[in-house]
């Protein structure tokens, strides 16, 4: 599961566990993006902060692990490179699923080398409040039927939680309890993240 995870929250965790159980996966590897091309220009927390928050959030699930690969790789984070690396690491025959939410899958055609990516792994498009998967039809006009078949829909218990909303709540000293694991909540307070947006950027 790729994402900015700035910060990771229960929407990510519920989606990952639902996908793991529905598709019979052995492991879910969370991959915090190093330099997300689509978030260029927006302030994001350092890769190290996002990596550590993801580790804290996943520590209680024996099937979850976190990869530093994109955080450590210089330059923009392209999913296609990460999937190639995972095939080398876990074996070419290992079935890899890329877990995304409804908003991310609708943008898949804008991703770097998206056709190649869709050929290398299966995609899971999880429902997410505020985004309709009905628009997935538009992808059929842009992709071959074979590639469209590598996208699987997954209904997950709806959680209208987003990292942007959590960051905004912290900035306004609002409550974030029960939106994300307590350890991450404490990490945010201890590291003084999101208090004023630009100052926490990676610049």
Q: Which residues bind ligand ATP (CB under 6 A)?
A: 3-6, 11-12, 15, 100-101, 103-104, 126, 128, 159, 161-164
Instruction: Give least dist CB 15 to ligand ATP, A.
Output: 4
> Of 11 and 147, which has the nearer Cβ to ligand ATP?
11
Distance, CA of 121 to CA of 116 (rounded, Å): 9
Burial call 124-145: b when 16+ CB within 10 Å, e when fewer: bbbbbeebebeebeebeeebee
Q: In what order do the strands lie in the sheet with 97-101?
A: 97-101, 122-126, 151-154
Instruction: Give least dist CB 63 to ligand ATP, A.
Output: 17
Instruction: Give least dist CB 25 to ligand ATP, A.
Output: 16
> Of 49 and 92, which has the nearer Cβ to ligand ATP?
49
Instruction: Give least dist CB 182 to ligand ATP, A.
Output: 18
Q: Position of tokens 């939106």?
A: 179
> Of 42 and 186, which has the nearer Cβ to ligand ATP?
42
> Of 17 and 103, which has the nearer Cβ to ligand ATP?
103
Q: Position of tokens 């095939």?
A: 87
- Identify the sign of the CA torsion 83, 87, 92, 95: negative
139 is written with which tokens? 């992808």
Does residue 28 contact residue 63 with C-beta atoms inside 8 Å? yes
Instruction: Give least dist CB 73 to ligand ATP, A.
Output: 17
> Of 34 and 101, which has the nearer Cβ to ligand ATP?
101
Distance, CA of 39 to CA of 158 (rounded, Å): 25
């Amino acid at each position: 599961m790729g994402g900015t995870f700035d910060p990771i929250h229960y929407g990510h965790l519920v989606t990952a566990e639902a996908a793991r159980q529905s598709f019979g996966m052995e492991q879910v590897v969370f991959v915090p993006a190093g330099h997300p091309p689509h978030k260029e220009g927006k302030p994001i927390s350092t890769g190290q902060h996002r990596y550590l928050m993801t580790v804290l959030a996943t520590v209680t699930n024996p099937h979850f692990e976190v990869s530093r690969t994109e955080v450590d790789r210089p330059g923009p984070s392209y999913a296609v490179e990460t999937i190639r690396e995972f095939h080398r690491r876990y074996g070419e025959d290992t079935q890899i699923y890329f877990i995304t939410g409804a908003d991310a899958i609708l943008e898949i055609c804008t991703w770097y080398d998206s056709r190649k990516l869709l050929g290398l792994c299966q995609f899971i498009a999880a429902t997410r409040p505020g985004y309709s998967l009905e628009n997935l039809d538009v992808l059929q006009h842009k992709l071959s039927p074979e590639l469209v078949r590598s996208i699987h829909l997954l209904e997950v218990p709806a959680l209208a939680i987003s990292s942007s909303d959590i960051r905004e709540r912290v900035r306004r000293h609002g409550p974030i309890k029960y939106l994300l694991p307590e350890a991450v909540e404490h990490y945010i307070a201890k590291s003084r993240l999101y208090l004023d947006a630009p100052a926490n950027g990676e610049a």
